[in-house]
Structure formats: structure tokens, C-alpha cells
Structure 1
Amino acid sequence: MTFILDSKLNADTFSVVKLGLCDLRLMNDRRWPWLILVPQRPDITEIHDLTPLDQTMLTFEAGIAAQALKSVTNCEKINTGALGNIVRQLHLHVIARNVGDAAWPGPVWGHGTREPYSENDARAFAKAVLDAI
């Protein structure tokens, strides 16, 4: 079977880079610097559905993404989570948070109205993340 990125993830994110396991993507919402890791495995919905090696790679790549995001944003906190209630395809959110941001201290999901990046700003931010990796 071939890996196909979920259409909602494709519509809501920009590609940053393909890592060893994951497609690293930038969420198109400038209110929070927000990365998405999508393991490039077909028909996977849960972390425990991955092989043990892929689980290890996901953890490793999440750490790399979190360190890069922290370096680029100098944020106070990194939130990491895998929900999958709307998009079933396994994906891991890595979000830079700061005290006083628009949703602090609550979750970012469902808070307010998305503020999309311009294409140039998205490319610049994605490049900064990639350079930090």
C-alpha cells in the first residue's frame, strides 16, 4: 500500500521536509507556531499501530521538531499531542506556546478563528525550522 496524506492535513498545512519516517508540516495558523508530524505509513491511526521501530523513530523525530521549534520561536512551552478525533490519519502536533497567547493556558484546538500565513511567511518560517533541524 502507498502512503497518501489526508486531504484535510494537506489543505491545512505547508510541507517543511520529509524526515526518515514523517512528513513534517507547518499548520497554516500564525497564532501559534505549530508543526505536524505525519508518519508516512498507510492506514495508521494510532501510535501503537506503528511497529516498535517506527514508534521509536516518531519519538526521535518529534524531539527534533520540538527542539527546532523551540530554537526558532524561543517559546516558553512545547505542547505535543496526537488526537485524531477529526483527522483519523496518525499525526502528531508540536506547538509552541507562551503564557498569555490567545488560548493560554487552554488547548489551541477550537479556539478563535484561524489566521493563515501568507505564502512567503509560511516559506520563511518553514525554512527557519528546517535550518534549525
Structure 2
Amino acid sequence: MRIRVISAVVILYLLMVAVSVVYTALFVWLIKKMIMLDGWVLNSVVGIIFVAQLFMSFRYSAPGLKAEVLGIEAGLKKQPLAAIYYEIITAAMLATFFIMMFVRRFFSLVGVLSWVITGLVFLIVFLGFFVRVKKLRCRSS
């Protein structure tokens, strides 16, 4: 029994690290589309984003996921506004990544046009998520 619980929790945390790596790659991809990053600046940005993603995952997502995996009743805690915005930005960047991959198959975007289209797609997706979360928070209050 204990081995099953320990292995489930270890696998959960390893999956959270893997998801943090994927989100970091997506963040850096989108940031590199907007700003030229090279050398130590790129490495610093990657490190900061990865640590922030891990912190948000472990601090706000892990307790609920761990309770779900172990079948324990977990009380619903309200997340701070900063964590909610961080999740909205993360989801918007993930959606932007996939939308831009689809758009690039059909259109050749180079230079400033690529930057503008990527920024507009991110802004539209971010605002859509933001409005949806606002509506959900108003309903739950």
C-alpha cells in the first residue's frame, strides 16, 4: 500500500516537472518570436521561467492533484489572483503555439509580420481566457 502511494506521488511530481519543461519551451518560443534572445540572457530567461513554472505547479496544483490521485478529500482553496493570471498566460501561450503552427503551414510569415500576428493571436486568446475566468469567478462568488 505504501509503495503504491509513494510511487503515485513520485510519478505525479515527475509529470509536473515534465509539464514545466514543456511550458518553459513554449514560453521561450513565444518570447523569442517577440524579442531577440541569445547567450546568457536566453539562459537566464529559461531558468527564471522554469523555476516560476515549477513553483506555481508545486504550490498551487500539486496539493489538489495529489489528493485526487490518492483519493483523499481535499478542501477547495482559493488561488491568489497572481496564480490565476499566470495560468491564463500559460494557457494562452500554449494555445498561441498551436495556432501559429497551424497558421505557418498555410502562410509564410517573416519579420515584423510574424511578430505582429503572433502578438495578436496571443492577445486574442489571452483576452478570451481572461473573460471566461472572470465570468466563472463571478458565478462562484
Q: What band does the TM-score fall into relative to the shorter chain?
A: under 0.3
* TM-score, length of structure 2 as denominator length: 0.27
Q: Which one has a larger percent strand, Structure 1 or Structure 2?
A: 1
Radius of gyration: which is bigger? Answer: 2
The structure in which a higher percent of residues are helix is: 2
TM-score by length of 1: 0.28
